[in-house]
Amino acid sequence: MNEKVLKQGRLISKPGVRQGPDQTSGTVSPRDRFALLYELGCAFAARIELQELLPLVVNKCREVLNAEGISILLLDPDRNELYFPYVSQSDPAIVERLRNLRFPADKGIAGAALNDAVAIRVTDAQGDYRHYHGVDRATGFTTRDLLAVPLITRQGKIGVIEAVNSRGPNRFSEDDLAFFEALAGSIAVAIENARLYTQVRDAEASLQKRLGVLRRDLARSDAFGKIIGATAAMREVFRLMESAAASSIPVLIEGETGTGKEMVARGIHLASARADGPFIAINCASLPESLLESELFGHRRGAFTGAVRDNPGLFRAANGGVIFLDEISDMPMSMQAKLLRVLEEEEVVAVGDTFARKVDVRVLSATNRDLKTEVERGNFRQDLYYRVAVFPIRLPPLRDRREDIPMLASHFLNTAAQRQNKHIVGFAPETLDILCGYQWPGNVRELRNEIERAVALARDEELITPNHLTPTLEQSRVKKPSICASSDTSEAQSELPAAATGDSLPLEHPQSGPESLRKARAAFEARHIAEALRQNQSNVSRTAQALGLSRAALQKKMKAYHLR
């Protein structure tokens, strides 16, 4: 059986040449072929990826055609070359060589099948003038007989599939070719679909990425924007928040009560890729030990008295998002051990359950005590400390950033007045003196509450005077406050000049007469511009636009107020 090209071109059954089914390459029964067709049909119907589809096609075709090898060659239309998108070889050197092998699309028997869009059966490849020896050289394989079938979709020709060297007693038959050709039609469509699927998925991934960046920018101006602070210490907090938002590592937010720890946690969540996921806050100090475990990890119905229905627990409810463990230093020791396990294994076991469930939750925690000291005192597990405190953010107490007080006070005045439907003119200068001089043990929250109370007491069109404040504020005032002047020594390291933060601007208040009013207005304007600059990352054009000024006018003012 050493005949030359036995058959070229589309299968035309010549009654005399056609072999009987018992001779179809010897070993594979029509039943097996139907089974294969069914299996491949199922695989093609599933939205499968090319990397999964090609090995499946190759292995199944090899099995059913009883071939030594199956090659898929795809057409690179830009270069009009054929290449091997998938190589089923165990020898890595051959895999590498074939991966890098490309040849002109009109070369070889594959090229002929592709060019003429016909299925070709060759029984003596070495004797065929079209045979391309480059592939044999690369693989060290000798092609004896082969079937080459073009892969054609509605878009046109996309490549060729080849069966090389029949392992049966005979060479590949006409029936083998007919079967392979029938199969190639659906293989081509499946490859095309898989490529389209990959394209769509890649396009979606890149859109998602862009969306993520846009959302982060938006959230940053939104979520971070609500957090007021222009001092160097607060700018450092914003910088850390940005880094924290860009990753999924656990963050520990430390600071006295009312310094804005929860605001910071929410800001990080909103600016992170998990923004669409839930944010679930739990105060570890507020729940008894017995309830904390089932609150966090859930329980099965009947796990304990009162457990009348299944409860998934907060960790599972926060899946895909963030769990905020407030006052984590108050977590009982037994719970700390369980939390550690959850963080390490990324799975939770509900109370009364025997198996664990995977959870994908980012943990942000907060504490108003020094957690490190709690570790030293033996109140907090060291291993858990290293887990939750990977990225610490420390919020300064308000008394250490008094320069932010006027800005915070005006903000709270505006929101309270709006809520209470009042028009409040502003603060009397002595009021601001008192606010800036007070120690604020309850920090920003206390300041907010104080202003809300004052707005409630004040009448429409009034100034907030010391009479509207809680008397203790005045009494516990620190000696001679250098009204909100900078106590911040880290200015030199910050990227903004000191004046631009507003920190070193003297806050002047009208005493009497037109001169002091002018000064007060100037002080206000300087501060306002400094804040606008901060919000616009010191970009002069954007700040000018935001303030409704020309660039030149803004620069003039910046010069006048030493904001550069």
Per-residue binder mask for Mg ion (CB under 5 A), 213-252, x = binder: ----------------------------------------
Q: Does 227 bind ligand ADP (CB under 6 A)?
A: yes
- Which single residue brings its beta carbon nearest to ligand ADP? 260
Which parts of 76-135 interact with ligand ADP (CB under 6 A)? none
Is residue 353 a contact residue for Mg ion (CB under 5 A)?
no
Q: How far is the CB of 444 from ligand ADP (least distance, A)?
A: 3
Min dist CB 463 to ligand ADP, Å, is 22
List, in order, residues 6 or more apart from 381 with CB less than 8 Å away.
333, 336, 337, 340, 375
Could you give the CA distance from residue 551 to residue 348 in angstroms, rounded to a whole number?
Answer: 57
Among 48, 94, 178, 228, binds ligand ADP (CB under 6 A): 228
The phi-psi region of residue 480 (left if phi > 0; otherwise alpha if psi is between -120 and 50; otherwise beta) is: left
Query: Other C-beta atoms within 10 Å of 195: how many?
Result: 18
Q: Measured from the CB of residue 376, what is the shortest distance to Mg ion in angstroms?
A: 24
505 vs 484: CA distance, rounded Å: 9
**Of 260, 298, 406, 437, which lies in the binding site for ligand ADP, with binding defined by CB under 6 A?**
260
**How far apart (Å, rounded) are the C-alpha atoms in residues 155 and 398?**
67
Cα–Cα dist 545/539, whole Å: 10
Task: Assess 262 for contact with ligand ADP (CB under 6 A).
Answer: yes
Which pairing describes strands 322-326 and 279-283: parallel, antiparallel, or unpaired? parallel
Binding test (CB under 5 A) with Mg ion, winner from 262, 430, 462, 474: 262
> 262 or 374, CB closer to Mg ion?
262
Q: Is 235 in the site for ligand ADP (CB under 6 A)?
A: no
User: Nearest approach, Cβ of 316 to Mg ion (angstroms)?
Assistant: 24
β-pairing verdict for 279-283 and 67-76 = unpaired
Least Å distance, CB 263 to ligand ADP, is 4
Report how many residues bind ligand ADP under the rule CB under 6 A: 15
Stretch of 250-258, 428-436, 480-488, 519-527 contacting ligand ADP, by CB under 6 A = 250-258
Please say whether the beta carbons of 229 and 398 come within 8 A. no
* Residue 195 binds ligand ADP (CB under 6 A): no
d(CA 242, CA 350): 34
Q: Which does 263 bind (CB under 5 to 8 A by kind): ligand ADP, Mg ion, none?
A: ligand ADP
Q: Does 257 bind ligand ADP (CB under 6 A)?
A: yes
User: In the range 414-473, which residues lie near ligand ADP by CB under 6 A?
Assistant: 444-445, 448
The CB-of-258 to ligand ADP minimum distance in angstroms stands at 5
Q: Which lies closer to Mg ion via its Cβ, residue 259 or residue 501?
A: 259
Give, for 19, the enclosing helix (H) or strand (E): none
Per partner kind, with CB cut-offs from 5 to 8 A, the member of ligand ADP, Mg ion, none near residue 95 is: none
Closest CA to 389 of 402, 378, 377, 374: 374
Q: Which residue is nearest to Mg ion (CB)?
A: 262
Check binding of 261 to ligand ADP (CB under 6 A): yes
Least distance from C-beta 90 to ligand ADP, angstroms?
Answer: 60
**DSSP string of 451-516?**
HHHHHHHSPTTPEE-GGGS-HHHHHTPPSS--TT-----GGGGSSS-GGGGTTTS------SHHHH
List strand residue ranges (DSSP E) for 219-283, in order. Answer: 251-254, 279-283
220-250 core/surface letters (b: 16 or more CB in 10 A; e: else): beebbeebbbbbbbbbbbbebbeebbeeeeb
The site partner of 448 among Mg ion, ligand ADP, none (C-beta below 5 to 8 Å per kind) is ligand ADP
Q: Does 336 bind ligand ADP (CB under 6 A)?
A: no
Q: Which amino acid type is present at position 331?
A: M
Residue from 461, 236, 235, 536 nearest 528 by CA: 536
In the list Mg ion, ligand ADP, none, the entry touching 229 (Cβ below 5 to 8 angstroms by class) is: ligand ADP
CA distance 335 to 321: 21
Please identify which residue in 255, 267, 406, 502 interacts with ligand ADP, judged by CB under 6 A. Answer: 255
Q: How many CB atoms lie within 10 A of CB 345?
A: 12
Distance of CA 541 to the CA centre of its chain: 31
Residue type, 278: P
**From Mg ion, ligand ADP, none, which one binds at residue 216 (CB under 5 to 8 Å depending on kind)?**
none
3-class SS of residue 418: helix
Region of 180-188, 220-228, 256-264, 331-339 interacting with Mg ion (CB under 5 A): 256-264
Q: Tell me: does residue 357 bind ligand ADP (CB under 6 A).
A: no
Residue closer to ligand ADP (CB basis): 162 or 326? 326
Task: With CA atoms as reference, report the closest residue to 488 among 117, 212, 125, 233.
Answer: 233
Count, residues near Mg ion per rule CB under 5 A: 1
Q: Which stretch binds ligand ADP (CB under 6 A): 196-204, 257-265, 298-306, 502-510?
A: 257-265
Q: Please identify, using beta-carbon distances, which residue of 184 and 241 lies nearer to ligand ADP.
A: 241
* Contacts with Mg ion, residue ranges (CB under 5 A): 262
* Contacts with ligand ADP, residue ranges (CB under 6 A): 227-229, 255, 257-263, 366, 444-445, 448
